Chains A and B, each alone.
Chain A
Amino acid sequence: MKFFFRRLSRKPSFFIMGCLSIFFAQVILNLFIFGYLELDKMKEMWKGSFTLRAFFVVGTPPEKIQEVQEKIAGWAAVKQVVFVDAEEARKRFLEYFALSEEDLPGGENPFPASLEVLPKKLEDLPKLAAEMKRIPVFDEVVYGGKNVEELLRFHRFFVGVGGIVVLGVFVFVLLVIGNIVTLKVRFHQEEIRVLRLMGATNRQIRASFLGEGVLEGFLGGMTAFVVSSFFFRFFLEFLGTSFPTFFWVRFEDFFLLLFLINVFLSGILSTVGTLAAVNGVLREMP
């Protein structure tokens, strides 16, 4: 039925409002998706820098070292264990501070051998450190400590509090969408009554609103996708050139995710919203 074009041409403002509300819901969601992915990327980056380092007590026999290394490598939370001997540690030290052999006084190598442990999940770092401290062969166990904990806290904060805030805004936008659709259906209440008196079934009436709803969702979602895509593309380019040392999400990585969420979610939102609103009005009618 072509009631949809009839309604659209007589009262385009409802259609535009519907599109806009879907658009804003999607843009808010897109920003959150971006933030989440970016944070994950950052976490990934810092994971490399905050490796757990455990120094052996000077004089630990090589068999003991081997045994401990194998034991730790067998733990479920551990991704990788690398042994760094005293010689290697010294070389790294010189390299790091750009010193030459002469700058360092000769004699006994003051650097102890150590194990570099990479956890599978950054969150496991403190627990892993505590466990390793309990093994007597280690003199000291260190990691990014405060920094790592802070990063983890921030991550939890963003995902938790930020998530709740965005969810709240999202729910609010959903309510706005719902109310706009309801308003629209109510505006056409008299016309629905006429259609019913002419023998239109509830299904026909529902269908006559659904076309418009789906198109609204599609247009709103697509606009959100296009606008977000442009924004993220240029924003990421800007970030990449301004702060080249950081890791930024690559736009190509979440392009598809963005597209799917924008198109499908808005389609579902508008379809469900329309059906609920029409059913509500139909139920009220005798």
Chain B
Amino acid sequence: MENVKPFLEFRNVSKIYPTGVRALEGVNLSFREGEFVFLFGPTGAGKTTLLKLINREERPTKGEVWLSGCRISHLEERYVPLLRQNLGVIFQDLRLVPEWTVFENLLVPLEVLRVKRSKAFQMVKEMLRFLQLEKKGLHRVEWLSGGEKQKLSVGRALIHRPELVLADEPTKNLDEESAQAVVGILSEFAQETKATVIVATHDQELLRIFPGRVVTLERGKVRAS
């Protein structure tokens, strides 16, 4: 571990929202490539904020965020799309397009990356099979159940095989069995592709079942790593 350069690094990062809320304070963290990490903490601890600093939805008030030798906290605006194209994100509020079909939603990351149409269709079909949603490919997202939507958002985050996956409460609204299935998918993906995966959660049960590093956040500070 000592000799491996960190893949993702937070250097003394603080985030104070314009409202005055101190979401993160002096966070120092580093992640190695291929790590499977649980970001654990109660509601309002700053988990989502921390993930948003990685995909540049937010910028730190103080400190720096580095990814693969690139200081992404200070990345020029025009390179942000490039950064995002290489991430797979499961948003806490899913961010699916409800009027579009399951198929179309899965296609978005591939279209953004300009993957050839025939290849993209093939990949989407495979993903539908993998998620066991083959029969719902042409259903609109607004017609899906909560669990199905959650699975779909996992699929969309993984379909373009990103090197870094950020999963914000991917088990929210799911029963225990489905929750474990979803984390199972992420962990399987990590093992298969050697991707780095960060899962934000407040579900202690998951930490017990799945092996992985646990980073605990509390009121914007890292409690244990």
Contact = CB atoms under 8 A, between A and B. Distances in A.
Interface of A: 1-3, 6, 10-11, 190-191, 193-201, 204
A195 B91 CA distance: 13
A250 B123 CA distance: 60
B99 A195 contact: no
Interface string B49-88: 0000001010000000000000000000000011111110
A205 B57 CA distance: 18
Interface of B: 55, 57, 81-87, 89, 91, 95-97, 99-100, 104, 108-109, 111-113
B82 A197 contact: no
B82 A194 contact: no
Interface of A is mostly: helix
Contacts of B112: 195, 198-200, 204
**Chain B contact residues, majority secondary structure:** mixed
A194 B55 contact: no
A194 B84 CA distance: 11
A197 B97 contact: no
Nearest to A201: B81
Contacts of B83: 199
Q: Which 7 residue pairs are nearest across A and B when measured between Cβ atoms?
A: A199-B84, A199-B85, A201-B81, A199-B81, A10-B99, A200-B112, A191-B97
B84 A6 contact: no
Contacts of A190: 97
8 contacts: A191-B99, A191-B100, A194-B95, A197-B91, A198-B85, A199-B83, A199-B84, A199-B87
Contacts of A193: 95
Contacts of A196: 81, 84
A191 B142 CA distance: 14
Given A1-B111, A204-B112, A197 B95 contact: yes
Given A1-B111, A191-B97, A204-B112, A198 B84 contact: yes
A194 B108 contact: yes
Contacts of A198: 84-85, 108-109, 112
Given A6-B104, A10-B99, A191-B97, A197 B55 contact: yes
A7 to B, nearest CB: 9
Nearest to A286: B57
A197 B99 contact: no
Contacts of A6: 100, 104
Contacts of B97: 190-191, 194
A241 B81 CA distance: 66
Contacts of B99: 10-11, 191
A142 B129 CA distance: 94
Nearest to A10: B99
A191 B97 CA distance: 6
A7 B206 CA distance: 39
Given A1-B111, A191-B100, A197-B89, 4 more contacts: A196-B81, A199-B82, A199-B85, A204-B112
A24 B40 CA distance: 60
